[in-house]
Amino acid sequence: MTAAALLEVRRATRRFGGLLAVNDVSFTLAPGEILGLIGPNGAGKTTLVSLVSGTLEPSEGEVLFHGKAITALPAFRRARLGIGRTFQIMRPFPGLTVQDNVAVGALFGRGGSQLRVAREQARRCLDFVGLGAFASRRADELGGPGRKRLELAKALAMQPRLLLCDEVMAGLNHVEIDEVIAIIRKLRDEGIAILVIEHVIKAIRSLSDRLLVLHHGEKIADGTPDAVLADPTVVQAYLGRQRK
């Protein structure tokens, strides 16, 4: 593992029966770096993020965090170490307020606080993502853009060193996308490393320090956004089919 790397994934492979969802993928992520993860639908992006977060175990390969192997650790143990995640399918805890939804993240994250402290942390996170005015509302009353921000706030309440974002800009309009980009940049400025799955190419190009491209579960490119998006292999596999 390189000295500057916060996360290192070594030759990660994941099989589902006869389906090879992720095949021999390796990459690193440094503190305060934003890595964009792109590729066609079904390329293995969410599966790869799940291997990092611990919701799935690799069939082969290993995951290291702060230089220590975490491959066998369950998701809740990784959360305690500082790995937070948003989910593509947003499922607020039914019946709870927006604030208490976020407080759950604080209780099970790196801080492991008492409920009173967790609620205070939740309020700070809601203010950070622009949902402070909705703290006392039921979370299931939020619309799509609000739920995206709620996902971010829940992950932030875990006090992550590494944040995994799965399509937090999907379904948003241009103004809302710009607002989410600004939030992610502020998190990066605080030293949080961020891995972002996204299909909005204009957004991912402006946001990312590096891009990692998957196709049929394999890494086909890893480099600066301009170099990767000009790569003929990437254009043929992804951009030629889906320009946004």
- Report the range of poorest mean pLDDT among 60-74, 164-178, 201-215: 164-178
Task: Answer whether 0.85 is exceeded by the pTM.
Answer: yes
Q: Does 242 score more than 60 pLDDT?
A: no
Residue 237 is predicted with a pLDDT of: 84
Q: Residue 9's pLDDT band (boundaries 50, 70, 90)?
A: very high
The predicted pLDDT at position 113 comes to 64
Q: What is the mean pLDDT of the chain?
A: 89
- Residue with more model confidence, 129 or 111: 129
Domains and CATH numbers, the chain: 1-82+160-244 (3.40.50.300), 91-158 (no CATH)
Instruction: Identify the band that residue 176 occupies on the pLDDT scale cut at 50, 70 and 90.
Output: confident
CB atoms within 10 A of CB 160: 23
pLDDT digit string (tens) for 71-113? 999 998 998 899 998 887 667 887 899 999 999 888 877 766 6
Q: Is 90 exposed, middle or buried (0-12, 13-18, 19+ CB in 10 A)?
A: middle
Residue 127: band (very low, low, confident or very high) from pLDDT cuts 50, 70, 90: very high
